[in-house]
Structure 1
Amino acid sequence: MSMIEKKLTDDLFQPAKQDKQKSEEISKPSLSFWQDAWRRLKKNRGAVIGLVAIVAIMLMAFIAPVFSKWDFNDQELMRANLPPKVKMLENVEFLGLNGVDIRGVDQYKMKNVPKDQYFVFGTDGLGRDQWVRVWKGTQISLYIAFLAAAIELIIGVTYGGISGFYGGRVDNIMMRFVEVLMGIPYLILVILFIIVLKPGVLSITLALVATGWIGMARLVRGQVMKLKHQEYVLSSKTLGSTNGRLITKHLLPNVLGTIIISITFSIPAAIFAEAFLSFIGLGIQPPTASLGSLISDGFRSIRIYPHLAIYPSIVMCILLISFNLLGDGLRDALDPKMRK
């Protein structure tokens, strides 16, 4: 007999106590689908950083212009094209934040500007505060992006849901119409709206919405066609549920995760599309500013006054990257296959 066997005596073994009332209790709190998705989203550092950056930029876009003493269209040629000047950093020669251009070519302009005037992002060619204009431009870009996403959500989900649920002849007719719209070049639609409505927020929004909902409609249609043959849908239909109840209570909630992910990716696409149209002169017109129009104006003098293009470009890049990071995080969090 080994030493281990000698140490194992009968008094070391005791029968386990069983409580029938507690045998089926759940040791951990139950989580709903959305609670579990939020828990997994918080574990994704990239998505959390993106969400924080988006919230911070949105707050700055609406708060910064309110607390600034300059209006976005206050013109003063005596302070035109000034480099950035930040309070408490006048004596720090770093990135031109002391009111002197890095190369020293703009130092003479500061003689005509009172010492108590500070321009965090500098001024443009008309002496307007670039700090206010950048955040006002961010407002316009976000407004266009969220408006386009909202209309895309309403039209795309409704159109795709009806087409996928009824199928047959209804689906064929509706999809043929979608294919016709897909064959129309996007830039031609933009030019058409601009000719009819003139360049501005309305024409850009309509141009983005005219064909922007097609991707959402096709996505929702495919998901609905896959889910409508599931057992829980067929059993609900057998029990007498109407078509409206089947769509709103069973199909749309199960497609909602896919819709949220698609919307999250469509917002940065709309921001970039607006910036592209403004950059080529088909978008926002002065004196209204957007990130795209500010980048376009700054690009013309980027060799002499680079700060006019750098700051709106940085804000736009952070927005695009943050929305993409958040979209990737939502895709992982809402995907049941990613559960551990």
Structure 2
Amino acid sequence: MNRSEPSPEPQPSRLFFSPRGAGKGSVRVSLAVLASITLLCLLGPLVSPHPYDRVYRDYVLVGPSLSPHPSAAEIDQAVDEIARRMHAQIEIQSLDGEALQATLAGDKPIDARALRAFERSDIFSAPRIIGREDEGRRLRIEASLKPMFFLFGTDANGRDLLTRILIAGRVSLSVGLLASLVALLIGVGYGAIAGYAGGGADALMMRLVEIIYALPFIFFVIVLVMVFGRHFALIFVAIGAVEWLDMARIVRGQTLSIKRKDYVAAAEALGATPAAILRRHVVPNAAGPIIAYLALLIPRVILLESFVSFLGLGVQEPLTSWGVLIADGARNIQSAVHLLIFPAIFLGATLGALQSLGNSWRDSFDARSN
């Protein structure tokens, strides 16, 4: 008597966000990179000693360094500039890491109010007179130094590059998230309605999508700038107006497949409205490819915003984005290459992590579907 083969035990269903194989490690790395960059951009400017729009006239195009400023050369240059403004001669007596002692000599008695030139510099604090000679023609002063750190250096206007990169990250990430959210809402709704309606309504709605596809994006942005002027909100409008098209096509294709399922037919037989069917059955069952494409859409939107800002049509000074910083770095690449390298690293790491995350989720969905 032949024994029947034992039936295989039911396997637990895999969640969509549980990648198989080596993709699990790449998801963890991508999430760690994104979390680190996001926390830096959110919290970094709050603890930075340099406001993102503060101009340091004595520190223009300073290179990246772990050493504190000012250096001896920067002090000498600042002293020469102050002496020129005061029409006096300054002889440095002693210099240490905390204070400068010098003697000021002039043809006429030196007015103490002229010492405010030290206060207006970014290197010295308010000086203190420690001695007078020759009826006030010679003053011995002591001025404390202002130690500063510029880990990533400064830009052509003397602004701290690290703080500006973190502020730019806030702008670029917010544009990527909000514009992607707009594309998600419009694309999912439009594609689901078109796919479920079918027939002439579907054909008409998709012809409209193809017409919008034919419009050049840069031309659309230029028209918006000419009509409404340069404004930060225009970036969301311009990007959100075109990036929902691919989402609509994806959701439409999924809807055409899902609406033939038995559970949709059962819901229709029970008298469920089309809106209820789309909300309860179609969109939830199409969530896999929607989320996978959304993870790929965010880096695309960030790159698009950077490209628009690189052309000078995006955010305006003193606000900045990674695209604006990269454009500034490209203009100063010969004299200050750090202006290009550091924002490009942040942008590249963010785009790479998002792209890797989207690819892993897409592969996981494909494996689950098969």
TM-score, length basis structure 2: 0.75
- Distance between the aligned counterparts of 2:74 and 2:365, measured in 1? 55
- Distance between the aligned counterparts of 2:156 and 2:73, measured in 1? 16
**Partner of residue 283 from structure 1, selected from 314, 323, 326:** 314
The corresponding residue for 1:148 is 179
Aligned residues: 299
The corresponding residue for 2:73 is 108
Which residue identity is paired with 2:251? Answer: V
Q: CA deviation at 1:42?
A: 8.7
- Distance between the aligned counterparts of 2:39 and 2:246, measured in 1? 30
Q: CA deviation at 1:227?
A: 1.1
**8 Å contact 1:84–1:99 — kept in the other structure?**
no
The corresponding residue for 1:251 is 282
- Distance between the aligned counterparts of 1:160 and 1:85, measured in 2? 52
Q: Secondary structure at the match of 1:37?
A: coil
Which residue identity is paired with 2:335? Answer: I
**8 Å contact 2:168–2:322 — kept in the other structure?**
yes
After superposition, the C-alpha distances for 1:87-114 in whole angstroms (9 at most, x for unaligned) are xxx3xxxxxxx879xxxxx983476545
- 2:12 aligned with 1:48: no
Structure with the larger helix share: 1
- 2:364 aligned with 1:333: yes
Q: Secondary structure at the match of 1:78?
A: coil
RMSD over equivalenced CA pairs, Å:
2.5
Query: Within 5 Å, which residues of 2 pair with 1:243-322?
Result: 243-322=274-353
Cα 1:171–1:27 shift into 2, 3 Å: closer
The corresponding residue for 1:17 is none
Which one is further off, 106-115 or 138-147? 106-115
After superposition, the C-alpha distances for 1:127-168 in whole angstroms (9 at most, x for unaligned) are 111110000001000111111100000100001110000111
Which residue identity is paired with 1:317? Answer: G
The corresponding residue for 2:41 is 61
- Distance between the aligned counterparts of 2:336 and 2:19, measured in 1? 46
**Partner of residue 70 from structure 1, selected from 7, 30, 50:** 50
Structure 1 outlier segments of 4+, above 3 Å = 39-43, 106-115, 336-339
Structure with the larger strand share: 2
% of aligned pairs identical?
A: 32
Query: Within 5 Å, which residues of 2 pair with 1:90-169?
Result: 90=67, 108-109=73-74, 112=78, 113=123, 114=145, 116-169=147-200
- 2:266 aligned with 1:235: yes
The corresponding residue for 2:247 is 216
Q: CA deviation at 1:241?
A: 2.5
Which one is further off, 178-187 or 40-49? 40-49
TM-score, length basis structure 1: 0.81
Which one is further off, 44-53 or 142-151? 44-53
The corresponding residue for 1:6 is none
Which residue identity is paired with 2:41? Answer: A
**Long gaps (5+) in structure 1:** 1-22, 91-97, 101-105
The corresponding residue for 2:60 is 80
Q: CA deviation at 1:115?
A: 6.5
- Distance between the aligned counterparts of 2:19 and 2:238, measured in 1? 38
Cα 1:241–1:107 shift into 2, 3 Å: farther
**Long gaps (5+) in structure 2:** 1-5, 79-122, 124-144
After superposition, the C-alpha distances for 1:237-289 in whole angstroms (9 at most, x for unaligned) are 22332222211121111110111111111111111111111112121211111
Q: CA deviation at 1:122?
A: 0.6
